[in-house]
Amino acid sequence: MPIPAVPEGFLPETAEKWRDYWLSDMAVVIDMGTDYDTVERYFRLKNEELLAYQVVEQEGRTVAGSQGQPVEHPMLRYVSRIQGEMRQIADRIGLSPRSKAQLGIAIKRAVRDLEQRSQEVQMHDGVSDAGDRDPRLA
């Protein structure tokens, strides 16, 4: 499967993670018609997370509150909210250890099914390309 183009506006770090994901084994089970938007949403959130951290790095972890007291930078709360949604999506698209294990099993099943189908396609009228008779037809 070709790697989908990096969505517009992604930081270089996000673009690299995007490409890494589509080259990984986990992407094999992604249906481009039904799952692509979920994957893109995850990486858009990842991009937002990185952008928010850049703001925090520039402005500091604390800012002046309404009374002049130091308070946590509002972007850190935003990052926390983003990360909550990212964790949920990560479980669905194979980016958490648990989902990798679950999807790994699905991938092994898919490979086994494809190998079985390939063998069936190679059989013609009960005879394989090697000339062996299918024992199920005996």
The pLDDT, as a whole number, for residue 111 is: 73
122 in the same domain as 76 = no
Q: What is the mean pLDDT of residues 91-98?
A: 84
132 in the same domain as 87 = no
59 in the same domain as 44 = yes
102 in the same domain as 78 = no
| Average pLDDT of the chain, as a whole number | 86
The pLDDT, as a whole number, for residue 29 is: 80
CB atoms < 10 A from the CB of 15, how many?
16
Whether the pLDDT of residue 120 is over 80: the answer is no
Q: What are phi and psi of 63, to 5 degrees?
A: -135, 170
Please give the tally of structural domains in the chain: 2
Give the separation between CA 85 and CA 106, rounded to whole angstroms: 24
Give the separation between CA 82 and CA 50, rounded to whole angstroms: 11
14 in the same domain as 78 = yes
- CA 3, distance to chain mean position in Å, is 12
Structural domain of 51:
1-95
- CA 23, distance to chain mean position in Å, is 10
110 in the same domain as 84 = no
The pLDDT, as a whole number, for residue 48 is: 98
Q: What is the mean pLDDT of residues 78-86?
A: 96
The pLDDT, as a whole number, for residue 133 is: 66
Report the greatest alpha carbon distance in the chain: 88
26-80: per-residue pLDDT in tens? Answer: 888 888 999 999 999 999 999 999 999 999 999 999 999 999 999 999 999 999 9
Give the separation between CA 48 and CA 33, rounded to whole angstroms: 24
